[in-house]
Structure 1
Amino acid sequence: MEIRTFDSDLLVPLRQLYLETRLATFVWLDCSGFTLTDFDRDTEGERIWVAMESGRVVGFLSVWEPANFIHHLYVCTDSLRTGIGTKLLDACKSTHTELSLKCLAQNQQAISFYKSSGFVIHSSEGSGLESYHLMQYSRDIKHSLCV
């Protein structure tokens, strides 16, 4: 597997991945308004890392760098639990000592994944299906000296 930065030749498969994984993941939400071009709007101005396997896009992570905020991390449903998400996070962590993200409270799999990756829940906001956790990561100073 290869992690690379976004290039416009990856736009079509990234749009497809984003739509398909949101439809498969957010089963508790009304997804009828999701479209292929949501990817363009939802990642505008963000730095994007892309996971490629055998020439196929299998995941991506986008970060809004002015705030060190991970806006999206998606992996193809047929590639879950294969280390792709971890490798994408590692690529992002290699250039950011602190990161934050929002994770829907209903998305227990994602919350567990982020906790296992060093994120902690800082606060919880919203109510009902819109409730989310603000999670934060900070690279340990001792760890960064040993790397």
Structure 2
Amino acid sequence: MKIRVANELDYPELRNVYLQSRSKTFFWENTEEMILEDFDKHTVGEHIILAEENNHILGFASLYLPDNFIHNLFVHPDFLGMGVGGQLLNASIEKMNRPLKLKCVSKNQNAMKFYERNGWKKVVEEGNPNEKYWIMMYE
């Protein structure tokens, strides 16, 4: 598996990874409203790294470098549990300065456990009752 910086030629496949991952795992959202173009809207101005193998994108992370913030980390559903997320997380940590932050939707228990297993700490839960999320930090 190779981790590298994404380029515009990767965007069609990245859009698909983002849509597939959210459609399969975001049970709390209306998946019928999700579209391929969400990727472009949700990663504007961010540094994007991806994991690939045999010329297929397995997942990606989008980073907002000025704030040392991981905005998105998504793995295609076919490759969950294979270490892709961990490699993307480690590459993100190496790219930014500590402490790093991210937000994790409170309902996303699998992601929460993943981050905690990898050394992230919950700081505070914020948001309205229907959209709560944890601010998490890595020092």
- Bin the TM-score by the shorter chain: over 0.9
Alignment TM-score, normalising by the size of structure 1: 0.90
Q: Distance in 1 between matches of 2:72 and 2:103?
A: 9
Which structure would you say has the larger Rg? 1
Alignment TM-score, normalising by the size of structure 2: 0.95
Q: Distance in 1 between matches of 2:134 and 2:6?
A: 28
* TM-superposed deviation, 1:61: 0.4
The one-letter code sitting in structure 2 at the alignment partner of 1:116 is R
**Which residue of structure 2 lines up, in the alignment, with residue 43 of structure 1?**
43
Classify the secondary structure of the residue corresponding to 1:128. coil
* TM-superposed deviation, 1:78: 1.1
Classify the secondary structure of the residue corresponding to 1:93. helix
Classify the secondary structure of the residue corresponding to 2:32. coil
* TM-superposed deviation, 1:106: 0.6
State yes or no: 1:19 paired with 2:19.
Answer: yes
The total of aligned residue pairs comes to 138
Large movers: runs of 4+ above 4 Å: none
Give aligned-pair identity as a percent.
Answer: 39
8 Å CA contact retained: 1:29, 1:129:
no
- What is the aligned-residue RMSD (CA, Å)? 1.0
* TM-superposed deviation, 1:124: 0.3
Deviations 1:67-98 (A, max 9, x none): 11111000011111111011011111112222
Deviations 1:20-44 (A, max 9, x none): 1111111121222211011111101
* TM-superposed deviation, 1:47: 0.5
8 Å CA contact retained: 1:59, 1:73:
yes
* TM-superposed deviation, 1:102: 0.6
